Amino acid sequence: MKKLQIYREMPKNEQLDELFAQKLGNLERTPPAALWAQLEEKIAQQNAMLTTHTTAKKRHRIGMVYWSAAATFVGLLVWIGSNYYPQNNSNLNYSTAMAQKAPNHQQDNFKQGKINATPFSQMPNQVQMAQITETKKTQNEKVENLIEEEKNRLNENQNNQYITQETNTSTKIKVTVKINHKTAKKENNNIVQTTPTTDLQDIVSKKDKRSKLNNTLREINNIRLGESEKWELSNVQLLKK
Amino acid sequence: MNEIQLIEACKNQDAIAQRKVYEKHASKMYAVCLRYLKSDAEAEDILTQGFLKVFSKINLYKGEGSFEGWIRRIMVNECLNHLRRTRAMLMTVSIEKAQYYEADSTDTLHQLEAEALMECLQRLPDGYRTVFNLYAIEGYSHKEIAELMNISEGTSKSQLSRARELLKKYIKDIEKTSNISRNA
């Protein structure tokens, strides 16, 4: 049974508070001995969590720095490539294998040391790709040039033929006209009164009708041989009339 | 090693210093926890959690006020948090019950030994006990108690008066039993 000290008088509220504060304010109770061990374990766990958290943070920071540096480097490479690669593209290195396959003037350059003798397999991928594209380009250009030349040759032949045809036509027409004129003149000189010559004489003598004749002659120049023949026939018929 | 050196060592996570701090203050803080919580198991849990917080937040201790007072405040807060978490109906005591307790408030009070007083205190409902502990023993004002427990000042005052009356009743009960044992 607990010891009790009994107060006979009725204490006030403040006295009650004071009593509890005095007795219980500085009260000590020994906790179980195992409690420190538990606390120690919990402290160790907390420290481990803190260290893992801090290391994770550090790793994250290092990773961020690494990736940002890598991104900057790649960006720099791209920039350099985009700015300087087209300029250096003309000075591509040719491999020995390509040099052997290359045309004679390129082989001469290769022998003279103007072109580097770096093996194709040892070259960087970018350079290899550039070389392949370059060879494709040159091949395409050659084919295109050949086609162009062939076209030009064919056009020239056609033009020549056409010109010859035209010239033939014009000469023939001129000849016929001259003949007609001559015949007209001869007929005039001889004072042979024939209807076609008089018609022609009338046409030739009048200046305004001369220009018409010239126009018709120009048109005739553009007409093919068959048509000019028709014209000759019609002209002959006209002369006959 | 004095207290300042111990605190500095604890700031550097020195296990020996931590143990010394624990050994120095554990018994007092355990008693504080027991005043707020009914069972020993709860008090042990809260004591462990409170010391964990002490060692993790020791860098925040600026040397203003006693170190023991700082640890005690942490323990009291931990006890209050625990009560808040575990006992949702902390402040609910029926009016009839409160009036019944007040009817016995005219009896004489006896000065009891600490253990008997602790028993009386632990018999109080959680809300009464917490307000009485904070006001009578820790020295908090009603305003501070209201802020800590998220209640109004009037509630704090009424809880305190009801706690006092109940304590008087418990003491009277103890007196009666002691008289019976003496007569026997």
Q: Note the pLDDT tens digit of each residue in A192-215.
A: 444 444 444 554 555 666 677 777
Asked which of A21-30, A126-135, B113-122 is least confident by mean pLDDT, the reply is A126-135
Among the partner residues A3, A6, A40, nearest to B175 by beta-carbon distance: A6
Q: Which of A23-27, A30-34, A127-131 has the highest mean pLDDT?
A: A30-34
Q: How far apart are CA B43 and CA B80, in angstroms?
A: 12
Q: Complex ipTM above 0.85?
A: no
Once rounded to an integer, what is the mean pLDDT over residues A54-67? 87
Contact A16 B31 (CB under 8 A): no
pLDDT value of residue B29? 94
Q: What is the pLDDT of residue B42?
A: 92
Tokens of B179: 């008289």
Residue B161 to residue B163: CA distance in whole angstroms: 5
The residue-averaged pLDDT of A157-178 equals: 49
pLDDT on residue B13:
86
Q: Is the pLDDT of residue B134 over 90?
A: yes
What mean pLDDT value characterizes chain A? Answer: 67
Q: Is the pLDDT of residue A112 over 80?
A: no
A20/B contact by beta carbon, under 8 A: yes
Q: What is the pTM of this model?
A: 0.51
Chain-chain contact of A21 with B137 (C-beta, under 8 angstroms):
yes
Beta bridge partners of B111: A5
Average pLDDT value for residue range A15-21: 86
Tokens matching residue B103: 């009817």
Token pair for B78: 């931990």
Give the pLDDT score at A116.
Answer: 53
Please report, as a single letter, which amino acid is at residue A18.
E
pLDDT over threshold 60, residue B109? no
Q: Measured between CB atoms, which of A10, A30, A42 is closest to B109?
A: A10
Cβ separation A24–B117 shorter than 8 A: yes
Question: Does the pLDDT at position B144 exceed 90?
Answer: yes
Q: For chain A, what percent of residues have pLDDT higher than 90?
A: 7
Binned at pLDDT 50, 70 and 90, residue B44 comes out as: very high
Minimum-distance CB partner of B44 among A25, A31, A47: A31
| CA–CA min distance A64, chain B (Å) | 29
* pLDDT score recorded for residue A142: 81
pLDDT of amino acid A181 = 45
A2:B136 CB<8 A = no
**Pick from A91-95, A170-174, A185-189: least confident:** A170-174
- Take residue B19 and report the two structure tokens written for it: 């143990």
Ordered by where they begin, the domains of chain B are: 3-86 (1.10.1740.10), 109-183 (1.10.10.10)
Contacts of A25 in chain B (CB under 8 A): 137
- Cβ-nearest to A9 among B30, B108, B117: B108
Name the least confident of A128-132, A148-152, A204-208.
Answer: A204-208
Dmax (CA) of chain A: 186
Sign of CA dihedral B157, B162, B166, B171: positive
What does the DSSP 8-state code read for residue A4? E
Share the mean pLDDT of chain B: 83
Average pLDDT value for residue range A69-83: 90
* pLDDT at residue B102, as a whole number: 41
**Least reliable range by pLDDT among A106-110, A183-187, B20-24, B36-40:** A183-187
As a whole number, mean pLDDT of residues B135-151 equals 92
Contacts of A8 in chain B (CB under 8 A): 108
How far is residue B135's CA from residue B120's CA, in Å, rounded to a whole number? Answer: 16
* Chain A residues close to B142, C-beta within 8 Å: none
**Residue A180: pLDDT band with limits 50, 70, 90:** very low
Q: How far off is chain A from B48, nearest CA to CA, in Å?
A: 6
Please name which of B68, B89, B59, B74 lies closest in space to residue B21, comparing C-alpha atoms. Answer: B68
So what's the pLDDT on residue B75?
94
For residues B135 and A184, which has the higher predicted lDDT (pLDDT)? B135
* Residues B182 and B118 sit within 8 Å (Cβ to Cβ): no
Chain A interface test: which of B74, B109, B170 (most A C-beta within 10 Å) = B109
Cα–Cα dist B70/B58, whole Å: 10
* pLDDT, greater one: B102 or A118: A118
Judged by DSSP in three states, A41 sits in helix
